[in-house]
Amino acid sequence: MRIQNQIKQGDYRSDGFIGRYQRLVSSTVIPYQYAVLNDNAEGAEKSHVVQNFINAGKALRGEDTGDGFYGMVFQDSDAAKWIEAAAYSLKNFPDPALEKQLDDLIDIIADAQDEDGYLDTYFTVKDKEKRWTNLLEAHELYCAGHMAEAACACYEALGKRKLLDVMLKNTAHIYKVFIKENHGGFPGHPEIELALMKMYRLSGDRKCLELAEYFINSRGCDTDFYKRECEARKWQVWGNDAGNADYQQSGVPLRKAENAVGHAVRAVYLYTGMADLAAETGDSELYEACKRLWNSITRRQMYITGGIGSTVHGEAFSVNYDLPPDTAYAETCASIGLMFFASRMLENEVKGEYADVMEQAFYNTVLAGMQLDGKRFFYVNPLEVIPGISGVSPTHRHDLTQRPRWYACACCPPNAARLISSFGKYAYGESEDTVYCHLFASGHVSFGNGMELSCETDYPYSFTVKYNVKGNGSVAIRIPAWSRKYSLSVNGVSSDLKPCSGYVYIPANGGCEITLTLDDTPRFVYASPAIPRLTGFAAVCRGPLVYCFEGADNDGDVLSLTLDTSGVISVSEEPDTLGGIVKISVPALRTAKTDALYTSRRPDQTDCTAYAVPYYTWGNRGENQMRVWLPFTK
Ligand code: FUB
Ligand code: ZN
């Protein structure tokens, strides 16, 4: 039985913690990003993306293209992600001025589409002859994928069809090139696979399904494709190594893949498409491969924050257990992609661990990717930052201490915006007779199977979740693995239902009221000794939130702190700190500073209290030290 998680966006709007983020995206993030895309945001990197589309339209009409193309070869995708965020957000918060901006941008994009359906400003403006000659680097299929996702969002959330028609025409073009004309090859940066699956489900156009199958099934079969392509072309974008098949996730047919390898965002977008296809077609061999890849990521290559892709070298997975906190890469987009992968794994099989990881990635790395005011963004998400070293030393240059306003490579900011504004798609799922609550968030949702549900909670700071359910069927509610105890009542009567694969199944029978109370006890978490540098270190978590120790709460110095893990962790509500948080205090020792670089005199240690704030809020009070992992004593 296939579980459908990508529930219609219009059926869900969030309140509470998530609602506040969705309002921030609507009121600040989307307008700010619109200004950036139009080069009207002071102090932000130049984008030029809208102008690229305008110039591509001119190129097609044979007009002077003015300042031509500017930016990354995949610059188009920034506009696509903004459109997607705007479409979902408009459904949550109607806004005629934003809708007009959206419509106008869609018109500009439609004008940039060639008669044959081709759509990509880099090639249309710069050199039409080079289309499809550099799948390895040139991101044509990646940009098409993002625009297809944007098209689906506009149609599904707002009933706007224009962009969907543009992208179905574009798909027909790609189908002609790859299926009918047998061009060969597969995307250097996967993304189109998952987008094609979305478009297939929305439009029923079988070309989308066939293309997704083609890209997934052919990948890794012709291992020399990129080498031949590289030899045949006389140009390059970055000079990527065409022989590094692992980096390209093309060293083995995907069905045989054992380990998650290569560029992390590419990997999880690809695995999402695979899991989509497996769920759609019931392909158990493909799902088995997805499970191996899932385990490879989450059991051996994932940070406690749900960050993945630990090395800056190629923005990639490293090797098992290589998870350094201070030189972490952990790109925001990679954790967003991990959420995508998790949500599609849930469509194959309802298992708590998939939603647990989805939640871990969201509340930690994804939210940390954005400043609390919605105007600055992290691309890289370290678990330890020391001003003077981080962002400065050659080995730590990528680990910034503060979020920049924008990036020349701006994939992460609009990705976070589209994810937050479509949160309901990840929170809920449905089958014919059951609704699934994967994530906890206040709000109301109506399902295609006729059931309706209202949820009230102050999660992730309070752990009571109340549901009011209408309709016939069952409600499946996740019991997170971190919750060592929980209580459940149905219509006021205590229930001893036990979870099955991480979910309790409650018969609703015409409606019911459910109250779930999860464990609010803060806890120490320890890493496997297989991870270098973390033996003897502990982190602190409460619910889904990973905490971090910042200089701002600890007299400017967290490097000299050692946690006393035999002590009791206390919590205090701080509604006026960092947008409203629960702060954590832990008994600790402070090691005295010495002037000498090394000394044989054992340093003094004094009792103190170490204070921690949720990781997603770090770096919001100016530059200061930050550590997720601290050494522990006892
Ligand atoms: O290449 C497109 C996007 O830019 C990737 O997904 C990110 O990792 C960044 O390289
Ligand atoms: Zn990114």
Indicate if the pLDDT at residue 509 is higher than 90: no
**How high is the mean pLDDT of the chain?**
96
Closest CA to 413 of 55, 9, 37: 37
Percent of the chain at pLDDT > 90 equals: 96
Indicate if the pLDDT at residue 11 is higher than 70: no
Residue whose CA is at the smallest distance from ligand 1 atom 9: 411
Q: Which residues pair with 627 in a beta bridge?
A: 384, 549
Q: Which residues does ligand 1 sit against, CB inside 6 Å?
A: 74, 189, 265, 315, 331, 333, 409, 411
Q: State the ligand closest to the CA atom of 412.
A: 2
72, 120, 142, 265, best to mutate for ligand 1 pocket (most atoms within 8 Å of CB):
265
Q: Give me ligand 1 centre to Cα 139, in Å.
A: 10
Given this model, what pLDDT does residue 5 score? 62
Q: Residue 457: CB partners within 8 Å, gap ≥ 6?
A: 16, 440, 441, 442, 464, 465, 466
- Report the atom number in ligand 1 closest to the C-alpha of 74: 2
Q: Give me ligand 2 centre to Cα 310, in Å.
A: 14
412 neighbors 400 (Cβ within 8 angstroms): no
What φ, ψ does residue 200 adopt, rounded to 5°? -65, -45
The 10 Å CB-count burial string (b at 16+, else e) for 552-574 is bbbeeebebbbbbbebebeeeee
Q: Give me ligand 1 centre to Cα 141, in Å.
A: 13
Q: Give me ligand 1 centre to Cα 79, in Å.
A: 14
Residue whose CA is at the smallest distance from ligand 1 atom 6: 265
Given this model, what pLDDT does residue 102 score? 98
Indicate if the pLDDT at residue 318 is higher than 80: yes
Binning pLDDT at 50, 70 and 90, where does residue 3 land?
low
Tell me how far apart the terminal alpha carbons of the chain are, to the nearest angstrom: 50
pLDDT in tens, 231-269: 999 999 999 999 999 999 999 999 999 999 999 999 999
Q: State the ligand closest to the CA atom of 365.
A: 2
pLDDT in tens, 592-622: 998 899 999 999 999 999 999 999 999 999 9
Tokens in use for 52? 């690229």
75, 263, 380, best to mutate for ligand 1 pocket (most atoms within 8 Å of CB):
263
> Would you please indicate which residues are annotated as catalytic (active-site) residues?
315, 411
Tokens in use for 534? 């973390």
Cα(353)–Cα(383) distance, integer angstroms: 23
539 neighbors 614 (Cβ within 8 angstroms): no
* Dihedral (CA of 59, 61, 62, 66) sign: negative
Given this model, what pLDDT does residue 8 score? 57
- Report the atom number in ligand 1 closest to the C-alpha of 331: 8
Helix and strand counts by DSSP (H, E) for the chain: 18, 21
Q: Residue 111: CB partners within 8 Å, gap ≥ 6?
A: 53, 54, 57, 60
Q: Residue 503: CB partners within 8 Å, gap ≥ 6?
A: 350, 352, 436, 476, 477, 478, 479
**Least confident range of 2-16, 138-152, 182-196:** 2-16
Indicate if the pLDDT at residue 291 is higher than 80: yes
Residue 298: other Cβ atoms inside 10 A: 21
pLDDT in tens, 115-172: 999 999 999 999 999 999 999 999 999 999 999 999 999 999 999 999 999 999 999 9
- Report the atom number in ligand 1 closest to the C-alpha of 264: 8
Given this model, what pLDDT does residue 13 score? 74
Q: Give me ligand 2 centre to Cα 38, in Å.
A: 20
Closest CA to 92 of 561, 423, 541: 423
Residue 38: other Cβ atoms inside 10 A: 15
Indicate if the pLDDT at residue 469 is higher than 60: yes
Indicate if the pLDDT at residue 10 is higher than 80: no
Indicate if the pLDDT at residue 555 is higher than 80: yes
Indicate if the pLDDT at residue 273 is higher than 90: yes
Closest CA to 223 of 240, 204, 247: 247
Q: Give me ligand 1 centre to Cα 35, in Å.
A: 22
Given this model, what pLDDT does residue 377 score? 97
β-strand 434-437 against 474-478: which pairing, if any? parallel
Q: Give me ligand 1 centre to Cα 380, in Å.
A: 12
Indicate if the pLDDT at residue 634 is higher than 80: no
- Report the atom number in ligand 1 closest to the C-alpha of 409: 4
Q: Which domains does the chain have, with CATH numbers?
A: 431-518 (2.60.420), 523-633 (no CATH)
Tokens in use for 371? 């400043």
Q: Which residue has the tokens 């987009």?
A: 333
Closest CA to 35 of 91, 93, 78: 78
Given this model, what pLDDT does residue 7 score? 57
Given this model, what pLDDT does residue 14 score? 82
Cα(135)–Cα(248) distance, integer angstroms: 11
Q: Give me ligand 1 centre to Cα 407, in Å.
A: 12
For residue 522, whether the previous peptide bond is cis, meaning omega lies within 30 degrees of 0, is: no
pLDDT in tens, 14-41: 889 999 999 999 999 999 999 999 999 9
